[in-house]
Structure 1
Amino acid sequence: MHAAPTLGLILPPDQAPERFLEVARAADAADVPELWLWEDCFGQSGTSTAAAVLAATPRIRVGLGLMPVPLRNVALTAMEIATIARMFPDRFLPGIGHGVLEWMTQAGVRAASPLTLLDEQARALRALLSGDEVSADGRYVRLDRVQLRWPAPAVPPLLIGGGRPKTLALAGELGDGIILAGDMTPGEGAEETRAAVAIVRAAREAAGLPPESAVVQFAGVRADASADEVRRLRSVYGAAGATSVPLLPLDGEGRPESGDGILRLAETIGAAT
């Protein structure tokens, strides 16, 4: 029997940056295991927010799902991840992915082949985080004997976000886990989770890797949901293969909660853990 998934709280960029620390401290005090951030365009920077939250809390793990690779040079991403991982060992869960392609177009960085870009960045990033000297002459990633000066002694898991089959397979082959956004409608999406997990496991087995890996499934829930409702969501997604279920608090109209409801949900998640 598999262990129940870890519960978490999603703190979306609908919150003003100055409110993040208040919510993070409340979540930590409520014993929420994980707090997840999004690097949405054109909101808060993901790594700076993650570092601030980690510095402001003594215990909670912070996930970043995800850093859009078109926006980022892979050497800079490696430097940021390694720096945070050294400062806060075993508390940072970084993720990378395509990002929202419309936003990448707005920023002038949309790649002609998003899958090739993600593949090249993931391979280079894994090597850099492991302390290797990396040279690459790819379609998108070009590095000349780049090596981190301060690699993290304990390399954090590299999570890759995706939804379509080719990205899921790439995540299975190159990542330590997958981030699934899925349908944010409360209680929906478990079948999609199960199908995604099957693709990831098949890719890992084809690459000669153990089939099991981290599966982070984002899910929406009413901000005033009860502890029993939260536990039910954890059970539903856990049965589909999720190992972590961060919850996005929604208001009565199904939009991300931007008021005190997020603090109420933090208390509920802590009680349900």
Structure 2
Amino acid sequence: MKLSVSLGLWQDRPPEEALDTARAAEAAGYPELWIGEMATWDAFALGTAIGAATSRISLTFGPLAVTVRDPATIAVGVASVAALTGRATGVALGTSSDVVVRGWHGRSRDRAATALAESAVAVRQLLSGEKSTVDGQVVGSRGYRLRLPAPKSPVTVAAFGPRALDVAARHADRMVVNLVSPAAAATLVRGLREAASRLGSMPPPVAAWVVAAADPGLAELEQLRRGVVGYLAAPGYADMFRAAGFGDLIDFAHTRPHPRELLAAVPVEAIAVVGLLGSRAEIAAKAAEYAEAGVDELAIVPATSDDDPGGGKTLAACRSAVVPFDA
């Protein structure tokens, strides 16, 4: 199974810790670092800083919300970092959430799957050095060509629902899923393969972002418990946790309690549903469940704390536990 690393961008940790995680990922021999974009860093600015702080790790940006960032700004950002750092780059596209798109950015998520498909076509054209020709129903780009060298970056599509699976089957070099159990991953992999079969094409490989903590202490567990709170009442995710045996927790989440009350109700076992926790043997066993589900790559999102700043201990443990390591 292939391994990569995704920055946790944890809100309870210093923002600059992202650079520590990047250095730790490279030191442990991981070939690729995912740089998401949430409440703190501009992804491309952070990517440029990481390029200066490391020497060889490749950089994949996103998933970037396609109704927030347009294809031209995405392509310019990726090409800028590639030119300034000399690194291999990739980009992941997704639809994000109502909180981010409507709340933070004041944009619409209407016809998000259409925007995802149109963005994938336009971004691929631009990153390949072509002049953009997409005049979409929701997004597009016409008549622009990169002035910087075209990085020819692969395009990853984040998918969870049926329409996004269709977009991934048609347009993606890789599909990524986030915070899913092996059982949920198996369902998504099956959906992707069915969509590709309808198109008469080969399905792209599948990566899964998974939180991880090797022999976690209380601080790491608290961080990971806090990280799942926002997913418990979300469509699809609620069904996943209910199927894993946490129906009472999901029922409570749907009563819309104060986040502190919901956090207090989240057991460690709920994190273990969607992550790699514990000893090297336990990490290896859970990774094998994802492999059995059809996942080709695990993007490790390491927990961090004062005892393990940057998550280096966890990254080293995952690197040694999950073999063979495909660099």
Q: Same fold (TM over 0.5)?
A: yes
Contact preservation (8 Å) 2:174, 2:206? yes
Deviations 1:199-241 (A, max 9, x none): 2223233334323x22110122334233222322322111211
SS at match of 2:153: coil
Distance 1:123 1:247 in 2: 28
Indicate which of 89, 92, 95 corresponds to 2:92.
95
With the length of structure 1 as denominator, give the TM-score of the two structures. Answer: 0.84
Structure 2, unaligned stretches of length 5 or more?
216-277
Report the aligned-residue RMSD: 2.2
Q: Deviation of residue 129 (structure 1)?
A: 1.4
Indicate which of 150, 153, 158 corresponds to 1:152.
150
Distance 1:128 1:135 in 2: 9
Indicate which of 195, 217, 224 corresponds to 2:208.
217
Distance 1:208 1:55 in 2: 43
User: Match of 1:237, as an amino acid?
Assistant: Y
User: Match of 2:22, as an amino acid?
Assistant: A
Deviations 1:25-48 (A, max 9, x none): 1221122333333211x2211222
Q: Does 1:136 align with 2:134?
A: yes
Map 1:230-269 → 2, pairs under 5 A: 230-250=283-303, 257-261=304-308, 262-269=311-318
Indicate which of 33, 55, 66 corresponds to 2:63.
66
Deviations 1:102-152 (A, max 9, x none): 221111012321112112111111111122212333222243311112242
Distance 1:60 1:111 in 2: 33
Shifted more, 72-81 versus 88-97: the winner is 88-97
Map 1:88-237 → 2, pairs under 5 A: 91-106=88-103, 107-152=105-150, 155-183=152-180, 189-211=181-203, 213-224=204-215, 225-237=278-290
Change beyond 3 A, Cα 1:179–1:259: farther
Indicate which of 4, 9, 12 corresponds to 1:8.
4
Higher helix share: 2
SS at match of 1:126: helix
Distance 1:241 1:89 in 2: 33
The total of aligned residue pairs comes to 255
Contact preservation (8 Å) 1:130, 1:151? no
Q: Which residue of 2 aligns with 1:19?
A: 17
Deviations 1:3-60 (A, max 9, x none): xx212333211143322222221221122333333211x2211222223223321232
Q: Percent identity?
A: 28
Contact preservation (8 Å) 1:182, 1:192? no
Shifted more, 78-87 versus 68-77: the winner is 78-87
Q: Which residue of 2 aligns with 1:253?
A: none
Change beyond 3 A, Cα 1:53–1:221: same
User: Which structure's CA Rg is the greater one?
Assistant: 2
With the length of structure 2 as denominator, give the TM-score of the two structures. Answer: 0.71
Structure 1, unaligned stretches of length 5 or more?
184-188, 251-256
Contact preservation (8 Å) 2:9, 2:18? no
Q: Deviation of residue 190 (structure 1)?
A: 1.1
